[in-house]
């Protein structure tokens, strides 16, 4: 049977730096496909449709829910976010490794559907630092920042379900750590049965 790809999930609270880390990991790690999420949120300056997100309307999103087109989705921060199913499934079936960068409720749902997914939780080393980053983000209203902070506190409760914790105090170190995790997961014996088999057959 053809080897299927590995599903990597980067998650953690808002302000942990998931988006930045994901961008750098994608630049550095070859053979990794990023799953572009769909969202009803308005694009921020510089965000490109189809690259950062598929920006769609609420009606389009709800139609996709109805059609069962998402692996997971959440209604959060007054918007919908979801992982489209078709692309992820076909990449994995073709043996390509896929990276998702999603919030924790979605990540929990992915874990349930894909028990072999490699789950990585990103966080700064202290909650004070997360708070500082959220408050200085500057792209959102105060009300929304406070809401994200409240949600972040809850998100830490799901940390124990993850395979890896990646501290993001220093961006480069965090990116290197995640690239190492990806390499180590790819090298696992359980994911390389064909090679083991090949050598086992030597007489």
- Interacting residues with ligand 5GP (CB under 6 A): 14, 18, 37, 41, 72, 74, 81-83, 101-103, 106
Look at residue 49 and give its three-state secondary structure: strand
Nearer to ligand 5GP, 97 or 103 (CB): 103
* Cα distance between the two ends of the chain: 24
Q: What values do phi and psi take at 25, rounded to 5?
A: -65, -40
Please state, in angstroms and rounded to a whole number, the distance separating the CA atoms of residues 163 and 142.
33
Contact criterion met (CB below 8 Å) for 91 and 71 = no
CA triple 72-77-79, angle to 5 deg: 60
Please state, in angstroms and rounded to a whole number, the distance separating the CA atoms of residues 131 and 124.
10
Q: Is 55 exposed, middle or buried (0-12, 13-18, 19+ CB in 10 A)?
A: middle
Q: At its nearest, how many Å lie between ligand 5GP and the CB of residue 47? A: 8
Nearer to ligand 5GP, 103 or 185 (CB): 103
Nearer to ligand 5GP, 15 or 195 (CB): 15
Q: At its nearest, how many Å lie between ligand 5GP and the CB of residue 178? A: 15
Nearer to ligand 5GP, 86 or 196 (CB): 86
Q: At its nearest, how many Å lie between ligand 5GP and the CB of residue 184? A: 23
Q: At its nearest, how many Å lie between ligand 5GP and the CB of residue 45? A: 13
Q: At its nearest, how many Å lie between ligand 5GP and the CB of residue 168? A: 13
Nearer to ligand 5GP, 131 or 191 (CB): 131
Pairing type for strands 38-39 and 79-84 reads: antiparallel
Nearer to ligand 5GP, 72 or 97 (CB): 72
The torsion of the CA quartet 102, 103, 109, 115, rounded to 10 degrees, works out to 60
Q: At its nearest, how many Å lie between ligand 5GP and the CB of residue 202? A: 45
Q: Which residue has the tokens 């999420």?
A: 37
């Amino acid at each position: 049977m053809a080897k299927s790809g590995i599903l990597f999930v980067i998650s953690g609270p808002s302000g942990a730096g998931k988006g930045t880390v994901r961008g750098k990991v994608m630049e550095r790690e070859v053979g990794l496909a990023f799953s572009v999420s769909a969202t009803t949120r308005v694009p921020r300056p510089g965000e490109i449709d189809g690259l950062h997100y598929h920006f769609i309307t609420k009606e389009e999103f709800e139609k996709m829910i109805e059609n069962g087109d998402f692996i997971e989705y959440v209604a959060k921060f007054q918007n919908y976010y979801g992982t489209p199913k078709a692309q992820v499934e076909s990449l994995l079936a073709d043996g390509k490794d896929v990276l998702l960068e999603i919030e924790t409720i979605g990540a929990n749902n992915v874990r349930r559907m894909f028990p072999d997914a490699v789950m990585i939780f990103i966080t700064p080393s202290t909650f004070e630092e997360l708070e500082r980053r959220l408050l200085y983000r500057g792209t959102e209203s105060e009300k929304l920042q406070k809401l994200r902070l409240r949600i972040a506190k809850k998100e830490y409760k799901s940390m124990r379900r993850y395979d890896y914790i990646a501290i993001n105090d220093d961006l480069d170190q965090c990116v290197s750590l995640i690239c190492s995790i990806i390499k180590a997961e790819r090298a696992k014996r359980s994911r390389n049965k064909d090679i083991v088999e090949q050598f086992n057959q030597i007489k």
